[in-house]
Structure 1
Amino acid sequence: MTTATPRIAIVGAGPGGLICARILQRHGITAAVYERDPGPAARDQGGTLDLHADNGQLALREAGLLEEFFRLARPEGQEMRQLDPAGTTLFHHVPQEGERFKPEIDRGRLRDLLLGSLQPGTVRWGHTLEAISGPAEGPRRLHFTGGATVEADLVIGADGAWSKVRRAVSPATPRYSGVHFLEAWFHDVTTRHPAIAELVGQGSAAAADGERGLFAQRNGGDHVRVYLVQRVPADWIAAAGLSHGATDGIRALLLERYRDWSPRLRRLITDNEGPYVDRPIFALPVPHTWAHHSTVTLLGDAAHLMPPLGVGVNLALLDACELALAIAHHGTIDAAVHAYEQTMLPRSTHLARLLDGAADGLLSTDLPDFATAGGIEPSADARPAGSPGATSR
């Protein structure tokens, strides 16, 4: 910046918000990150992510973290299988030695990498944003639960699907896609679930019959997460007279719905440990744009929530990188935000149109080519408003 150092507030300590702060700091620009969680270990961060060489890895390189990422990542996680409901393998991709186009990393491990790269005190934990006030030309005032306020020259919304920052620039809210995920967990799979470990391999396995699907994905630490995919109303569990913690009742419904699938695949319904995690899939309207504001902008899911098909975190990292570089290389915040949005909004609109309704493809017998497309990227924010963990950061 060629003018006085701006006061920058980033809302949300997910991958996008953290890498934006990291790149800004590498250019000598201070930013504070405000996060609703009381600390870095407050909740499960979600499953595994594949960071692509042409977007997510570019941001990590700009942040000076690419080699550390490769040290932590699991290139073997690029293995992918497609099966039919009988359990027959239709396609099997095994990554070549040295293949690093989209290695996997657990979401929590990526967050720890980014947190460790920041200057002490960058993240202000326990700050739940309630509202933003102040004139469009600034300064803006952030109002947090409990009465704390902060003044900023630029507010960056990196606060996910149910963004509170979004309300300052857009009335848009996510809409239910009609596709529902139930997440199931399996721990210590090599010893306790060897059949599932063999089925999933080191990467992922997918199957569908036109009405139902599943996606099983190896995580670090010998864990597997399975996503049972259905086209149902968002409240289908309550409509069946069950609570979300009624694991046995939900399992009985699932076994009936997947009754024609092979016993090999039905293990992914019968053998999970703990309750299912409810993840109805929401997306923002397409296109989602807003009038330029010199004092507020958005990145990642706050800007362009799409079905979780392997692009979300990669776009968030790329958005964050481009925004941070624009701030570093333009003379004013207004010019930086304008330059960033001139690139980000057309890109996200193009991709959102390509993926609009694409979650239905996870139910199709003509399964997506997981060897070239991304996998599934559900996060802790992939829930309806009002669900546990869905409050905007």
Structure 2
Amino acid sequence: MLLQNKKIAIVGGGPGGLTLARLLQLKGADVKVYERDENRNVRLQGATLDLHYESGLKAIETAGLMDAFKANYRPDNDRYRVMDENGNVFHDDHAKESTGAFGDEFFRPEIDRGPLRDILLDALKPETIVWDSHIVSLENKNDIWEITFKNGNVAIADIVIGADGANSKIRPFVTPIKPIYSGATYLVCNIPDAEKNALKLHNLTKGGKITAMANSKNLFLSAKGDGSLDFYIGWKVAENWAIGSGIDFKDNKQVLEWFKKEFADWNSMWLELFDYDQTHFVVRPLYGMPLDQYWETQSNITLLGDAAHLLPPNGEGVNSAMLDALFLNENLTNGKFADIKEAISDYEKQMFKRFTVEGKETAEMMDWMYSPNGLKTMVALFHQMPD
């Protein structure tokens, strides 16, 4: 076995890194996951995720966690409503009797990121996760990696896998290639207790999701299992817009005044998003890696998920990361490769191929989503999907 007597360090405790840790432990590997969060409950986990038959769900099944997933996923949260700026409905999944079932390749069950993370954390051996591990340096000493953390701790590993997301600290040790701006930005927020703080939009969402599109701009709303409502405002703008905007994004009133001007032709119904005065907004310019990115394989370090192939939100991010975990685990443990470098090289070649295809599809999606015909295209795509 390639991993015999090898210590593996996975940097980053998101779905991709945790999935890989679980799969490797099932094969008897010695794995530690180094996560910068102080503990598992230190912060609110992000948006609702949909897992796909050929990737995320396949990883969950291979990891032996399908029963736990079925106990925690959110039936009917995958139901979409597509609207224009005035709330007119052009597509509504709530009219369907069912959106699918497990075993159906077109069924994409939804689960909040927090419960998914808990499922994966609980499946790992005790002490696998090393919390409060904010990496500050990485050094290769005679083919052994020495990882130093902000808290002063030092870890030693034979293999390092960067699963630490868009701002990966591991990526620079693999490639100097940096992400490029997509041309679009999200303004992101969460409204707690939406039934109380945004009742009309809570009812409009119906426990599922809404995409509203008009004039090359988008609003995206997603109900979460804790009763809150995530929403995203998307539009094309300069990369450094936030710096020059003069807006204090912790001041709800300032953001509201901006929205009234930027979305002046949108119905006032959407202003309810700003009624909760404790709302804090986060500006997220959307980045992606160059589609022709490539690097020479190293013998004991690699990347997965957004750390490897960041793209603007496309519904595939977590699924791609979990599929990376599947492929990398298989290559490191199936006995088909002469050494670890060969196993990593094959994994990276397959990853590059998948990324190129996915990246082209994402670029096309970004083009039509932020175009005057975005709504028409979105509705047409939904109507092409199997019932």
Asked if these proteins are the same fold (TM beyond 0.5), I'd say yes
Aligned-pair CA distance for 1:199: 1.5
| Alignment of structure 1 residues 302-381 onto 2, 5 Å | 302-330=307-335, 332-356=339-363, 358-364=365-371, 365-367=373-375, 368=378, 371=382
Q: Which residue of 2 aligns with 1:240?
A: 245
Q: Which residue of 2 aligns with 1:174?
A: 179
Q: Which residue of 1 aligns with 2:306?
A: 301
CA–CA distance in structure 2, aligned partners of residues 3 and 119 of structure 1: 18
C-alpha RMSD of the superposition: 2.2
Return closer, same or farther for 1:130/1:116 CA change in 2, 3 Å cut-off: same
2:252/2:277 contact within 8 Å kept: no
Corresponding residue pairs, total:
373
1:73/1:104 contact within 8 Å kept: yes
- Pairing 1:253–2:253 present: no
- Pairing 1:119–2:118 present: no
Return closer, same or farther for 1:189/1:290 CA change in 2, 3 Å cut-off: same
Aligned pair partner of 2:112 in 97, 101, 106: 106
Q: Which moved more, 1:231-240 or 1:251-260?
A: 231-240
Aligned-pair CA distance for 1:269: 4.2
Q: Which residue of 2 aligns with 1:275?
A: 280
1:237/1:250 contact within 8 Å kept: no
Q: Which residue of 2 aligns with 1:158?
A: 163
- Pairing 1:86–2:86 present: yes
Return closer, same or farther for 1:328/1:3 CA change in 2, 3 Å cut-off: closer
Aligned-pair CA distance for 1:121: 0.3
CA–CA distance in structure 2, aligned partners of residues 250 and 69 of structure 1: 37
CA–CA distance in structure 2, aligned partners of residues 207 and 272 of structure 1: 23
**Letter of the 1:88 counterpart:** N
Aligned-pair CA distance for 1:138: 1.7
Return closer, same or farther for 1:86/1:21 CA change in 2, 3 Å cut-off: same
CA–CA distance in structure 2, aligned partners of residues 261 and 270 of structure 1: 16
Aligned-pair CA distance for 1:77: 0.8
2:242/2:283 contact within 8 Å kept: no
Q: Which residue of 2 aligns with 1:31?
A: 31
1:288/1:303 contact within 8 Å kept: no
- Higher RCO (C-alpha under 8 Å, 6+ residues apart): 1
**Letter of the 2:299 counterpart:** S
Aligned-pair CA distance for 1:372: 8.8
CA–CA distance in structure 1, aligned partners of residues 75 and 54 of structure 2: 16
CA–CA distance in structure 2, aligned partners of residues 153 and 160 of structure 1: 21
**Letter of the 1:362 counterpart:** M
Q: Which residue of 2 aligns with 1:383?
A: none
Q: Deviations over 1:262-302 (max 9, x none)?
A: 12233234457512122221211222221111111110000
Q: Which runs of 5+ in 2 are unaligned?
A: none
Aligned-pair CA distance for 1:93: 1.7
CA–CA distance in structure 2, aligned partners of residues 372 and 148 of structure 1: 54
Return closer, same or farther for 1:214/1:88 CA change in 2, 3 Å cut-off: same
Report the 3-state secondary structure (helix = DSSP H, G, I; strand = E; otherwise coil) of the residue aligned with 1:356: helix
Return closer, same or farther for 1:358/1:225 CA change in 2, 3 Å cut-off: same
The percent of aligned pairs where both chains have the same amino acid is 34
Report the 3-state secondary structure (helix = DSSP H, G, I; strand = E; otherwise coil) of the residue aligned with 1:314: helix
